[in-house]
Amino acid sequence: MGGRLILTARDIRALKGERRLAMLTAYDYPTALALDQVGLDVMLVGDSLGEVELGYDSTRAVSLDMMEHHVRAVANGATRTHITGDMPAGSYGDPRQAVASAMALVAAGAHSVKLEGALIPQVEAILDAGIPVMGHVGLLPQTAEGGYRKQGKTMQDADRLVAEAIALDRAGCFAIVIECVDADAARRITDAVDAPTIGIAAGIDCDGQVLVSTDLFGLLPDPPPFVEARANLRDLMQGAASEFAAEVRATAAPRLPRRTPAP
């Protein structure tokens, strides 16, 4: 299959108002290899891998070394799709650390990085280093306390989110993820910024949508309520494995020749 040019961060930002953006997560080589064929705009190597791939209770257990490992695996499989690497918790506490961490993800194969919150000094430092940045407002899993709750439900909270998104947009982010935000607040954010917004559990009025591929493919039980699984790979895997195990057990054990003692 012939390749196509990878969308650059500038290309993606220019798509605001032109068409919607499609982004899925990928964490490994075979998934990246498959998703690279379908025409996604962005493949996100998300720190959500901590929960859906590694079985941790939160994304906070994910280290920069882990992210480098998974970015490298995805980059080995995806040669046509823009790859964004999530900067994990604790990897961008100040601008200098943020630049070093972003450079590590780019060296592993990412074309851009994403960080949570309106940390403008860090964003500007990474951009000054020549690395494109995707912003992220709303629910911030790395720092969320007391569970994942919908954001922007009050006027005051919505105003705060709009102000954060505008600051990220003005700093130069090429796109902004809006996670778990009231639909009206997400619409306000989308209308207020020049960068395209990419929503997850934030209504239909964002400029694009992102989902965790593990949820989309039905690999785990009890997906989030806002996800409509488009496949049931978990059942397919279990069925194939059960058939294999049954066939192995139904086959008579081979009679092995006894060793003849050496003379």
Question: Is 223 a domain residue?
Answer: no
**164 is an active site residue:** no
Question: Is 35 a domain residue?
Answer: yes
Q: Which pLDDT score is estimated for 2?
A: 45
Question: Is 23 a domain residue?
Answer: yes
CA nearest 231: which of 24, 19, 87, 65?
A: 24
Question: Is 251 a domain residue?
Answer: no
Q: Which pLDDT score is estimated for 260?
A: 65
Kindly state the tokens that stand for 208.
Answer: 């694009």
pLDDT digits (tens, 9 = 90+) for 44-79: 999 999 999 999 999 999 999 999 999 999 999 999
pLDDT digits (tens, 9 = 90+) for 9-44: 999 999 999 999 999 999 999 999 999 999 999 999
Q: How far apart are CA 261 and CA 43, in angstroms?
A: 61
**Cβ atoms of residues 112 and 82 within 8 Å:** yes
Catalytic residue among 179, 228, 243, 247: 179
**Cβ atoms of residues 80 and 36 within 8 Å:** yes
Q: Which pLDDT score is estimated for 51?
A: 92
Question: Is 63 a domain residue?
Answer: yes
pLDDT digits (tens, 9 = 90+) for 191-222: 999 999 999 999 999 999 999 999 999 888 87
Q: Which pLDDT score is estimated for 259?
A: 66
Once rounded to an integer, what is the mean pLDDT over residues 116-127?
98
Question: Is 225 a domain residue?
Answer: no
Categorize the per-residue pLDDT at 146 as very low, low, confident or very high, splitting at 50, 70 and 90. low
Query: Domains in the chain: how many in total?
Result: 1
Task: Decide: pTM greater than 0.85.
Answer: yes
> Could you identify the residue written with the tokens 């860090």?
122
Diameter over CA atoms, the chain: 92
Assign residue 39 the CATH number of its domain: 3.20.20.60
User: Residue 17 belongs to what domain range?
Assistant: 9-216
Residue 249 has pLDDT above 90, yes or no: no
pLDDT digits (tens, 9 = 90+) for 84-116: 999 999 999 999 999 999 999 999 999 999 999
